[in-house]
Amino acid sequence: MNQVSGNLDDFVRKQIKINQSPEMENEFRNIQNQLSASSQKIQRQIESIDSTLNSVIQKTYDSAGNAIEKLQDRILRRIQETENLAVQHFNEIHQSIYPSAEPQERVISSVYFLNKYGPEWLNTIMTQIDLNNFKRQSINL
């Protein structure tokens, strides 16, 4: 909770960075490099057989490269949508916990606690609270 109360933007960026996978970008780069190397290798081999097939080979590999780029773009868009949703959720949570950039305090009637926990809740409070501590305290009922 202290992590969130400091700077929400830093906390959100840290969480998104943890969830992202830099290995994925490297994998797509490797696929494109392998595709290019494979295309050049096949073109050299086919050139001795029939040089007119070079344009067909190039178009085929270009089409495969474009399909891979489209897949990568689609994945990146989905990650961005997910991040935007995560940022929106963090903002909503932060607003509900810290409505005025301060922890939210609530005043609830003692009758509520009496009905919910019975008369023992007063004993629990008296044993858990430090009467000499004037800072905010948390009590488990």
pLDDT, tens digit, 9 for 90 and up, residues 79-129: 777 778 777 887 787 777 777 766 666 667 888 888 888 888 888 888 888
Q: How far is CA 83 from CA 15, 26, 87, 90, in A?
A: 9, 20, 6, 10
Q: Which two tokens stand for residue 61?
A: 């590999």
Evaluate whether 72 touches 35 at the Cβ level (below 8 Å). Answer: no
pLDDT, tens digit, 9 for 90 and up, residues 12-49: 666 655 666 677 878 888 999 999 999 889 888 888 88
Q: Is this prediction's pTM over 0.75?
A: no
Q: Is residue 119 helix, strand or coil?
A: coil
The domains of the chain are located at 2-104, 106-141
